Copies of this chain bind each other. A is one copy, B any other.
Amino acid sequence: MLNFNYSIQTKIFFGKGKIDVLADNIKKYGSKVLLVYGGGSIKKSGLFDKITDIFNKNDIKFFELSGVEPNPRITSVRKGIEICRENNVDIILAVGGGSVIDCSKAIGAGYYYKGDAWDIVLDSRKITKVLPIATILTLAATGSEMDSGAVISNLETNQKLPTFNEGMAPKFSILDPTNTFSVPKNQTAAGTADIMSHIFEVYFSNTNEAYMQNRMAEALLKTCINYGQKAMADPTNYEARSNLMWTSSLAINGLLSYGKETEWSVHAMEHELSAFYDITHGVGLAILTPHWMEYALNDKTVDKFVEYGVNVWGLELSGDKYEIARNAIKRTREHFVKLGIPTSLKSIGINEEKLETMAKQATARGKIGSFKPLDANDVINIYRSSL
Interface residues of A (CB under 8 A from B): 1-9, 11-18, 177, 209-212, 215-216, 218-220, 222-223, 226-227, 238-239, 242-243, 246-247, 250, 255, 258-259
Contact = CB atoms under 8 A, between A and B. Distances in A.
Nearest to A17: B3
Contact of A246 (B1, B8, B238): B1
B8 A8 contact: yes
A1 B215 CA distance: 21
Contacts of A222: 215
B239 A209 contact: yes
Contact of A3 (B18, B223, B226, B259): B18
Q: Which 5 pairs between the two chains have the least Cβ-Cβ distance?
A: A3-B15, A215-B219, A6-B12, A1-B242, A212-B223
Give this chain's copy count.
Answer: 2
A4 B8 contact: no
Given A209-B239, A219-B218, A4 B14 contact: yes
20 contacts: A1-B15, A1-B177, A1-B242, A1-B246, A4-B14, A5-B13, A5-B14, A6-B11, A6-B12, A6-B13, A6-B14, A209-B239, A210-B243, A211-B243, A212-B223, A212-B247, A212-B250, A215-B218, A215-B219, A216-B216
Nearest to A8: B8
A14 B3 contact: yes
A1 B250 CA distance: 15
Nearest to A218: B219
Nearest to A242: B1
A243 B12 contact: no
A7 B218 CA distance: 24
Contacts of A8: 8
A218 to B, nearest CB: 7
Contacts of A4: 12, 14-15
A7 B258 CA distance: 18
Nearest to A210: B243
Q: Looking at A215, A223, A239, which has the most chain B CB atoms within 10 Å of its CB?
A: A215
Contact of A212 (B210, B219, B238): B219
Nearest to A244: B212
A222 to B, nearest CB: 5
A351 to B, nearest CB: 39
A194 to B, nearest CB: 16
Q: Looking at A15, A227, A255, which has the most chain B CB atoms within 10 Å of its CB?
A: A15
A246 B259 contact: yes
A6 B145 CA distance: 13
Contacts of A2: 15
A259 B152 CA distance: 33
